[in-house]
Amino acid sequence: DAGITQSPRHKVTETGTPVTLRCHQTENHRYMYWYRQDPGHGLRLIHYSYGVKDTDKGEVSDGYSVSRSKTEDFLLTLESATSSQTSVYFCAISESGGTGSHYGYTFGSGTRLTVV
């Protein structure tokens, strides 16, 4: 979507290796989110950020870490990739957080990660 890009778009990695996914925004939005999408599960929140260096866990955060050193970038790291982390990962941004987000979220196009 305009203003938010995810990289890489596709990645295949081996079990046990670290992997970093990047989300970059040009909207100067304060809030950024990482979700994973799996068949039958919809989207589940991994981590989110409410400002530079301010992050918090979502419902499926085990095995993942995040960093946000600049407003525009939100990195998701799989510390030691496992096959259960094979998924499509979506980044989202929001100008306001929580219930102040009257415009909802803007989503990136996703990163398809396969762990073999």
Partner 1 sequence: AQSVTQPDIHITVSEGASLELRCNYSYGATPYLFWYVQSPGQGLQLLLKYFSGDTLVQGIKGFEAEFKRSQSSFNLRKPSVHWSDAAEYFCAVFNQAGTALIFGKGTTLSVSS
Question: Can you give the three-state secondary structure of 43-64, one letter per residue?
Answer: EEEEEEEEECCEEEECCCCCCE
Cα–Cα distance measured from residue 24 to residue 4, given in angstroms and rounded to the nearest whole number: 6
Q: Are 73 and 93 in contact (CB under 8 A)?
A: no
What is the C-alpha radius of gyration for the chain, rounded to an integer number of angstroms?
Answer: 13
Which part of the chain contacts partner 1 (CB under 8 A), choosing from 17-25, 65-73, 78-86, 100-108?
100-108
Closest CB to partner 1 among residues 38, 79: 38
104 binds partner 1 (CB under 8 A): yes
Q: How far is the CB of 62 from partner 1 (least distance, A)?
A: 17
Dihedral sign (CA 24, 52, 56, 18): positive
Which part of the chain contacts partner 1 (CB under 8 A), choosing from 18-26, 61-69, 71-79, 96-104?
96-104
Closest CB to partner 1 among residues 47, 81: 47
63 binds partner 1 (CB under 8 A): no
| Candidate list 23, 48, 81, 113; residue touching partner 1; CB under 8 A | 48
Closest CB to partner 1 among residues 14, 59: 59
Cα–Cα distance measured from residue 62 to residue 51, given in angstroms and rounded to the nearest whole number: 21
